């Protein structure tokens, strides 16, 4: 019995061909997604003086809003890189937004209950 998989099937290759229009559009979309992620990561920067005033902390302390996010991204990349090598990058990219949505909604609900004027009622 041969345990080697047969990769010579007649299943067409569904990946985009390099240089094609769909390939270029995909690269542009990925670039825009990456740019948007980093823009969101640094979006609170102009608000740091206001955060320092409102929460009565120093400017150095308020800068941890950006610093903690950057550290979180840096630490998160390491295990995710290993995981993507194990399960595949495409599978991980499909799984990530799906798993993030419920956590995002849950965290917003927790924040609303904590800081809403009515106590979340």
Q: What is the pLDDT of residues 58-69, one digit of tens each?
A: 988 999 989 998
CA distance 72 to 61: 17
pLDDT at 56: 92
Say yes or no: 53 and 111 in one domain: no
Q: Are residues 98 and 51 located together in one domain of the fold?
A: no
Is residue 16 one of the residues assigned to a domain?
A: no
- What secondary structure does DSSP assign to 4-67, as a single string? S-----SPPP-SPPTTSHHHHHHHHHHHHHHHHHHHHHHTTGGGHHHHHHHTT--HHHHTHHHH
Q: Is the pLDDT of residue 6 over 80?
A: no
Number of domains in the chain: 2
pLDDT band at 7 (very low <50, low <70, confident <90, very high): low
Verdict on whether the full-model pTM lies above 0.85: no
The answer to whether residues 71 and 101 belong to one domain is no
Is residue 52 domain-shared with residue 78, that is, in the same domain? yes
Asked whether residue 59 is assigned to any structural domain, the reply reads yes
Pair (25, 55) in one structural domain: yes
Task: Could you list the beta-strand ranges (E) of the chain.
Answer: none
């Amino acid at each position: 019995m041969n345990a080697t998989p047969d990769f010579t099937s007649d299943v067409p290759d569904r990946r985009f061909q390099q240089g094609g229009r769909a390939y270029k559009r995909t690269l542009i979309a990925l670039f825009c997604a990456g740019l948007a992620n980093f823009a969101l990561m640094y979006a609170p920067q102009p608000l740091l003086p206001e955060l320092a005033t409102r929460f009565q902390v120093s400017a150095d302390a308020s800068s941890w809003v950006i610093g903690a996010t950057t550290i979180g991204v840096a630490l998160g990349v390491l295990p995710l890189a290993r995981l993507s090598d194990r399960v595949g990058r495409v599978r991980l990219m499909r799984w990530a937004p799906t798993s993030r949505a419920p956590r995002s909604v849950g965290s917003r609900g927790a924040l609303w209950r904590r800081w809403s004027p009515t106590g979340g009622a």
